[in-house]
Amino acid sequence: MKRIVAFAVLALAVAATAYGVTRYLQARQPEDPWAWMRREFHLTDAQFARVRALHQAYQPVCADHCRRILAARVRLEELGRAGTPDPAAQAGARAAWDALCAECNRATLAHLREMAAAMNPDDGRRYLALTVPRVEGNEHRGPRDVP
């Protein structure tokens, strides 16, 4: 009888440990951002498909903005390191930088509004409330500061 009780306690301890380890490992796995978005904004299958399609269609536009902004940042850094400063060249490079950043922000805000329009009105407003401040506050500086 003692053997049966000892075996049952051991089996229960092993099962509890296995359950705990499994829960711990599942909690450590990063969640798919699309699953979060679908759940957070209560997207139907049709809305979810539309939002993903909009996002995928915008990716090349975003990549182009990033490429151009990086080139403008490099140009500003080169001018900043030049031995003899050229105020006209620096002003032109800064104007180009500002124009690119404004273009990127306008395009991104339009994209976010399009994404929100694919959602239920209340969820779309909440989505914009979460995303628009991030875009409006984006200075496009990245890892290095631009002079």
Q: How far apart are CA 62 and CA 45, in angstroms?
A: 25
pLDDT grade for 15, boundaries at 50, 70 and 90: low
- Averaged pLDDT for residues 25-38: 79
pTM over 0.85: no
What residue segments make up the domains of the chain, in order of their start? Answer: 1-30, 32-136
Return all residues near 17 (Cβ < 8 A) that are at least 6 apart: none
Q: What is the pLDDT of residues 74-84, one digit of tens each?
A: 998 888 887 77
Maximum alpha-carbon separation in the chain: 94
The CATH architecture one would assign to domain 32-136 is Up-down Bundle (1.20)
